[in-house]
Structure 1
């Protein structure tokens, strides 16, 4: 009897978590010898992709250790691992070493992922399960009568019965016309091209001011760059600062219960306006009085001044505008699923920027380093970016603001963050999957999936043997850049997949 092969495209955090959970499910059901698993990973090391393959000490996880476990229902597994390996981790833990509140370097987390993968890969082999890794790039998929054929680099291919897409966070391809310019860097990762090609005393422009831009800043400052650094972005907003000891908010107004009450009484989903009104009630209740909401607007205010205030707020335990989103981390995705597509698009347009900087903050240690760059005059943030072109005569990039101001840069790093829409993803695989009709873009971002099973949907059809997880599902699932959330969804996926193959284990 031929084995049922499950192919996982991607050997990052999502791919590793899926592999481990599937192995455990099949082994416990004693069906592991009837199934084989193949992981397709383009990098030499599984677990060391763009995010966690970095060597820069300033590239720090933006989530505390007790939410970074790679195992289903064990989010604290990474913090336990830190305590167990305290003697070997040294400066890789930025603060509160050995405690759940620790923030660590991404390279240490990459070591953790690699170690977990290698352990369970060897365990699967020793238990008699057929598992293997193909180190190649997946660039296209063909649908077969009984599965899929994955077309790989070097004219290779692999056939499978079940396909799981876990390609990681897609780099944005929002400036394709600049890609062939010598001094343009399409992503902050990997950092080696930046360090090899940008002289340390040169001025540098960074497109974006979010967490990706913070990574670019840390790369430059870790390596003692002395030139002026300017961040250009449409809104000029930098991530807010995570409190060392965030205050948990017990929400009374913005709750699943209250949103479900709207569904029950009005026979419709809640609107963005209703959700925001509940958020305002929650924030004022938490603050103990009325909030001057106009004063909370950040666009147009100097980024350096905002950062100083955010550092002060973080040291005091955060404010309602940070603590409420963080306290809702386990409910926010369900709330998001209850919004109609048109309301999701309104949320992104009206509130997306503020949600992003308040829900995805930077660790205090990096905020203090960025503050030093502002104070020394080395860093400037310019908002209102409208256009970027390359002047061939002057051999420089020209950036134009909404006010018509023009700026020029010889070196330019694109740190605008991961792509949300499929058409903006710099991925041959995703473009081909969309072009061939194997995935269908969701208007709010990513691709269409069944959010309960993670099966891919196109048209009115759900693929019974095609799954997707991670950032490529961002339109239908809100927290897809959080490891704990993706691991939770992988648990659902694994249980559905194994039940499809072997039924409910007794």
Structure 2
């Protein structure tokens, strides 16, 4: 084993970004030949996981290009890459906001990730750094005296001194009784399974109505699906629609300053109700009038009518309920850290659904396609889903509302990524939790140190053990934003390299 061997589990956006930043920091410090980096990635192409390996044109990033760069402090790098490669990527850009703010296909972003990784992997080799890729699944981690041993598929093992978990977005295992049932798809990914196994004339049920459900819908629509498609979800809410050419907005009331004033005046952390009061004050100031808050409730209203309204609002630049959450993108995680655990749980219960649909909106181009599917009566949404079972003769039986039932022959689970560890369909995460190497965070994900990204065990940072991305959702909240994950990667790399720098000095 090398003097300082670093292993990254996961070759997606977070794993690639961490690899590049670590290489740069070590190379600039002249310590790159004293370190080796290994990436463990189960797919044959780094950067081309389930979501970014898709070939479907309707699978569009839900964030504009100038926030998707994977280089630390360079969020615009992806949009700059698009401009540099304009001739070869033109058909992949869904440009409803202008070149720098354009939305692109997921498959194009996968090409970008792979291009960045290939360049820096080759550069690291030329500079004399020991780097390698192991194409295998990480199944279990064992703590050793010198570091860690990772147990891999194929009954292989790999040892290292420093370990970074970057396994990507975990698929939910919320319907285990449906696993292995004929015509059940546990995830919208890979989309090829849906395309190859669902007849175009078949009626299809989709569990969920969020961005993952929209991805499943676009898979079907892109391939000329003719049958009826029904979304089944708890609240029946679609994501709202991202505004065209939104004006920059800076919050005046819901600010870190005002939250700190609560802390120093009341000697406690803010309550969710206090945050919501500040939000209401912010929204009414933005709107320039009092808001009928009861009228903003969306549960129970027809999704098709709400979508038409949202398209119009997006075309007009957005409303307070969208503009303010987007304006908070750079401070929401810090605000989240200022809440006690009980208040975080309360926030998710009271406001989580509305935060999600307003903070993580769909691009206008997808909204317009969905609107046409509603108009053609090919798509409908059924809320208040209660239960899903399988009947060998009837197929999938879905119970909703006051006990009404319906059946579907084909069913796609698109409820979105798992938040809690116990719901993650991951052999690695299950093994880590069972062994006690990671501790579940009650709000979601695993316990980590928010500044260094070290995994926390027994209330203390675990030496040389780090985590990135969605598995840190309970502590950091905004972990599905690439720019935010890249920021945390910068913090992680600075901490990890400082440990090695101290050993070298």
**Into which bin does the TM-score normalised by the smaller protein fall?**
over 0.9
* 1:476 pairs with 2:475: yes
In structure 2, the residue matched to 1:302 is: 302
Partner of 2:178: 178
What SS does structure 2 have at the residue aligned with 1:269? Answer: coil
What's the CA shift for 1:245?
Answer: 1.0
Counterpart secondary structure, 1:388? strand
- 8 Å CA contact 2:96, 2:244 repeated in 1: no
Q: Does 1:207 align with 2:211?
A: no
Q: Is residue 117 of structure 2 the alignment partner of residue 120 of structure 1? A: no
Correspondence 1:211-360 to 2 at 5 A: 211-360=211-360
Q: Deviations over 1:134-185 (max 9, x none)?
A: 0000010000011000000011110000000000000000000000101100
1:385 aligns with 2:381: no
1:206-251 deviation line (CA, Å, top 9, x unaligned): 0000000000010000000000000000000000000111232221
Report the counterpart of residue 13 of structure 1 in structure 2: 13
2:374 alignment partner in structure 1: 374
User: Is the alpha carbon distance of 1:482 and 1:327 closer, same or farther for their aligned partners in structure 2, counting shifts above 3 Å?
Assistant: same
State the secondary structure of the residue aligned to 1:476. Answer: helix
Contact between 2:396 and 2:407, CA under 8 Å: does it hold in 1?
yes
Aligned twin of 1:435: 434
Contact 2:97/2:245 (<8 A) preserved? no
Correspondence for 1:130: 130
Which deviates more from structure 2 when the two are superposed, residues 458-467 or residues 342-351? 458-467
SS of 1:373's partner is helix
Alpha-carbon contact 1:249-1:286 (below 8 Å) kept: no
Q: Does 1:49 align with 2:49?
A: yes
Deviation string for 1:437-481 (max 9, x for gaps)? 000000000000000000001113321100000000000001100
Distance 1:302 1:142 in 2: 51
Superposition map of 1:405-484 within 5 A: 405-484=404-483
8 Å contact kept, 1:210–1:417: yes
Q: Distance in 2 between matches of 1:222 and 1:443?
A: 39
Specify the SS of the correspondent of 2:418: coil
Q: CA shift at 1:87, angstroms?
A: 0.5
Separation of aligned partners in 2, 1:142 and 1:309: 53
Deviation at 1:2, TM superposition (A): 3.8
Q: Please tell me whether the aligned partners of residues 421 and 430 of structure 2 are also in contact (alpha carbons under 8 angstroms).
A: yes
User: SS of the counterpart of 1:275?
Assistant: helix
Residues 12 and 47, structure 2, Cα contact 8 Å, conserved in 1: yes
Q: Separation in 2 of the partners of 1:2 and 1:36? A: 6
Q: Deviations over 1:298-332 (max 9, x none)?
A: 01110000000000000000000000000110000
8 Å CA contact 2:209–2:233 kept in 1: the answer is: yes
How far apart are residue 505 of structure 1 and its match?
10
Partners of 1:16 and 1:360 in 2: how far apart? 24
- Partners of 2:295 and 2:100 in 1: CA distance: 34
**Superposed counterparts of 1:478-493, under 5 Å:** 478-493=477-492
| Distance in 2 of aligned mates of 1:68 and 1:138 | 27
Secondary structure, aligned partner of 2:374: helix
Aligned counterpart, 2:363 = 363
Partner Cα separation in structure 2 for residue 195 and residue 119 of structure 1: 33
Local SS of the residue matching 2:412: strand
Secondary structure class of the residue paired with 1:377: coil
| Structure 2 CA distance for aligned equivalents of residues 245 and 292 of structure 1 | 26
Q: Could you say what secondary structure the match of 1:475 adopts?
A: helix
* Alpha-carbon distance, 1:504 to partner: 11
Contact 2:165/2:466 (CA < 8 Å) preserved in 1? yes
2:96/2:364 contact within 8 Å kept: no
Q: Offset at 1:99?
A: 1.6
Paired position in structure 2 for 1:81: 81
Is the Cα–Cα contact under 8 Å of residues 243 and 318 in structure 1 kept in the other structure?
yes
Unaligned runs of 5+ in 1: none
Alpha-carbon separation, structure 1, partners of 2:207 and 2:224: 20
Checking the alignment, whether the CA contact within 8 Å between 1:83 and 1:98 is kept in structure 2 is no
Q: What is the CA–CA distance in structure 1 between the aligned matches of 2:254 and 2:97, rounded to whole Å? A: 34
Runs of 4+ deviating beyond 2 Å: 503-506
Cα displacement (A) at 1:98:
7.1
TM-score for both structures, normalised by structure 1: 0.99
The RMSD of aligned alpha carbons is: 1.2
Alignment of 1:184-203 (within 5 A): 184-203=184-203
For the Cα contact (< 8 Å) 1:259–1:270, is it kept in 2? Answer: yes
CA distance in 1, matches of 2:502, 2:95: 46
Residues 86, 98 of structure 1: 8 Å contact kept: no
Spell out, residue by residue over 1:8-45, the C-alpha distance to the aligned partner (whole angstroms, 9 max, x if none). Answer: 00000000000000000100000000000000000000
| Structure 2: segments with no counterpart, 5+ residues | none
Contact 2:2 2:36 in 1 (8 A): no
Cα distance in 2 for residues equivalent to 1:38 and 1:98: 39
2:133 is paired with a residue whose SS is strand
TM-score (norm 2): 0.99
